[in-house]
Amino acid sequence: MTTIAAVGYTRSLPVDDTESLLDLQVASPAPRPHDLVVEVRAVSVNPVDVKVRAGGDPDGPRVLGFDAAGVVREVGEAVTLFSPGDEVWYAGDITRPGTNAALHAVDERIVGRKPTTLSFAEAAALPLTTITAWEALFDKLGLAPASEGTLLVVGATGGVGSILLQLAERLLPEVTVIATASRPEGVEWVRSLGAEHVVDHRGDLVTEVLAVAPGGVDWIFTAHSAGMVDAFVEVLAPFGAVVAIDDPETLDVRALKSKSLSWHWELMFTRAIQGRADMVRQHELLDRVADLVDRGEVRTTMTTLLSPIDAAHLREAHRLVESGRVIGKVVVSDDPAS
């Protein structure tokens, strides 16, 4: 059996434990018919990596990692979208082994071409958050280039918020965007990405939002839902909508009914988990965003770069993400050009 280097975990441990993530040797992946085998050059760490690692002991060694950028080395017999040597970016499938490995197998239908203007590290910051933001805006909230109204982005300094602000700025010209941020560096960051107004979510969110939009906002994207339903109801105009990406332990949404408000959940892994016939839409949107990047209309959200890809640097990346204070994305790369 051929083995490859990877980083994974065997027990759910605090991130400051040196055994919370380990350098491992695992079997080299064999491609399924629609798979690419990708030589991974860079990965980024998302809250989902932390949640999975902290969620309990795996049955055996588990390799984490979802975001990746790399080079196609092998293709399955049914592959039509890519060839060996192609540079790609993608966010993977939560039901399969992760990207924190030298080689990684992934279905071509959830893979896009890497932007030519970004390094592998810069590219690895974007796929998971881009898919999440795109599906939240366009699939769940149903926004379109002609949409008019006001969008509140709660958790705007995080990875998803950082790309969502850019997509709204470029693709939704008639939508006014209010972003939440508390620290000065966060305020500066979200303004640089296209937020027209910034409010402090740690203060009186309702008062601050309604001072900007007295008639209420039309849509809310939120990375933080726990304890926020009543505030969202107050700031939303009738028939408005919320799209959320977090995992609150409990959520009572009955208060939405008085204004005929709707609540949507977004999980970018759903198409892959369910084997949807429209999985290729993630390939298409990643290619479209690659075009936006290469035209200079969207930029990477990488703010921290660690190297190389090993257990020590991935533990540090997890620690940073767990702190809840990261602006943008943390990337770990083997690419010497990063």
168 vs 211: CA distance, rounded Å = 22
Return the closest-CA partner of residue 276 out of 128, 81, 110.
Answer: 110
pLDDT of the residue at 337: 67
pLDDT tens-digit readout, 290-334: 999 999 999 999 999 999 999 999 999 999 999 989 999 999 999
pLDDT of the residue at 335: 76
pLDDT of the residue at 202: 77
- Angstrom CA distances, 285 to 89, 125, 131, 248, 329, stand at 12, 16, 7, 28, 20
Residue 26 DSSP SS3 = strand
pLDDT of the residue at 260: 98
pLDDT of the residue at 26: 96
Q: Are 206 and 233 in contact (CB under 8 A)?
A: no
pLDDT tens-digit readout, 120-147: 999 999 999 999 999 999 999 999 999 9
pLDDT of the residue at 203: 76
Give me the domains of the chain, ranges plus CATH numbers.
Answer: 3-126+277-333 (3.90.180.10), 129-265 (3.40.50.720)
Residue 242 DSSP SS3 = strand
Q: Are 242 and 154 in contact (CB under 8 A)?
A: no
Which residues in the chain come in under a pLDDT of 50?
none
pLDDT of the residue at 201: 73
Pairing of strands 236-244, 262-265: parallel
Instruction: Give pTM, 2 decimals.
Output: 0.97
- Angstrom CA distances, 179 to 123, 159, 198, 268, 301, stand at 24, 13, 5, 22, 16
